[in-house]
Amino acid sequence: MILVTGGAGFIGGNFVLDWLKDPSNEGIVNLDKLTYAGNLATLESLKDDPRHIFVHGDIGDEVLVAKLLKEHQPRAIVNFAAESHVDRSIHGPADFVSTNIVGTFNLLECAREYWNGLDGAEKKAFRFHHVSTDEVYGSLSATDPAFTETNSYEPNSPYSASKAASDHLVRAWFHTYDFPVVTTNCSNNYGPYHFPEKLIPLVILNALNGKPLPIYGDGQQIRDWLYVGDHCSAIREVLAKGKLGETYNIGGWNEKANIDVVKTICTILDELQPRLDGRSYIEQITYVKDRPGHDRRYAIDASKVERELGWRPAETFDTGIRKTVQWYLDNPDWVEGVVSGSYRDWLQKQYS
């Protein structure tokens, strides 16, 4: 058994589905608080799978976490649980401090106490895998080399600052207590089951609904894009073979400016589901005021995980983005279920 936290969110949900797709893998206890971005519909296909045990709860709940560890005796914890949207962190940073910092601290302490009670081979085999972001490294200029694992931490938003703090806690628990941790810092994920406040699903759904496609500033902010299925495979490799106390950067080797990502989506939609008036979705692009502290460029150098563990992404951006657009076209029921009234209120507040 492994314990997955945040397993009803975007990346965590994809990881749970991917893990349980292999019948040889052990079961999962899935602990999720079900905030606005947690969606049990993502896990609908697992409702009759006895290997999936869902628990509605918070990583900050010490009693609950300790109970789950004692009851299920997991051999590993994979921590996806986090508040993750930069825009929301600007409007309300308290939730990010509570979940990403205090919640991670509580999870570490409960896990350390559980680990200390294990014996022999079980104690030696246990792993705590912390999933983090490239945003902890700050921003790059157009000519700077990509982030490596030795880059200094220079977070620029409440979100990235809270994730940086959680990374430091994980590192400290290894060096102070010999607690068996590994950390991964990933670039921008995209793919199925993505809550439509993030750029790619927002653009797909706004385009299909005839709404403006909001682009911050000049749209030249550059990100490295990682297909979520590739991220899941990298986590499996690091969990299985990663060196204790190490950090591994996970990237897609796909640097793209935001405006180019949006235009690519529009071109694919023009092909797969053309507008009734025959015009291009590109005409819906609308530039809006840039957000405060918007980092100009992120780029991941994923050489270490390839060199040491043999992992590389299977998808290019062209193959991954086409799969993603097609998934949203094929799954209108999931989309309709997630686009609630409160979500529409958020979009109006953010992009008005």
Inside any domain, residue 309: yes
**Is 16 within 8 Å of 4 (Cβ atoms)?**
yes
Containing domain of residue 19, as a range? 2-189+227-251+297-315
pLDDT band at 188 (very low <50, low <70, confident <90, very high): very high
HEC secondary structure over 263-320: HHHHHHHHHHCCCCCCCCHHHHEEEECCCCCCCCECCECCHHHHHHHCCCCCCCHHHH
| pLDDT value at residue 145 | 96
Inside any domain, residue 232: yes
pLDDT of 340 above 70: no
Active-site residue 159, yes or no? yes
Question: For residue range 246-265, what is the model confidence (pLDDT) as tens digits?
Answer: 999 999 999 999 999 999 99
Inside any domain, residue 123: yes
pLDDT of 343 above 90: no
Domain count, the chain: 1
- Between 333 and 174, the more confident residue is 174
Active-site residue 134, yes or no? yes
pTM to 2 decimals? Answer: 0.93
What average pLDDT does the segment 284-301 reach? 90
Q: What's 180's domain CATH number?
A: 3.40.50.720
What percent of the chain is predicted at pLDDT more than 70?
96
* 190 CB-side CA count, 13 A: 34
**Is 107 within 8 Å of 59 (Cβ atoms)?**
yes
| pLDDT value at residue 349 | 61
| pLDDT value at residue 345 | 58
| pLDDT value at residue 201 | 95
135, 167, 230, 295: the active-site residue:
135
Inside any domain, residue 215: no
Question: For residue range 29-45, what is the model confidence (pLDDT) as tens digits?
Answer: 999 998 878 888 899 99
32, 58, 134, 255: the active-site residue:
134
| pLDDT value at residue 87 | 79
Token output for 143: 């000519």
What average pLDDT does the segment 314-339 reach? 94
Inside any domain, residue 221: no
Inside any domain, residue 108: yes
Active-site residue 330, yes or no? no
Inside any domain, residue 145: yes
Inside any domain, residue 182: yes
159, 193, 227, 248: the active-site residue:
159
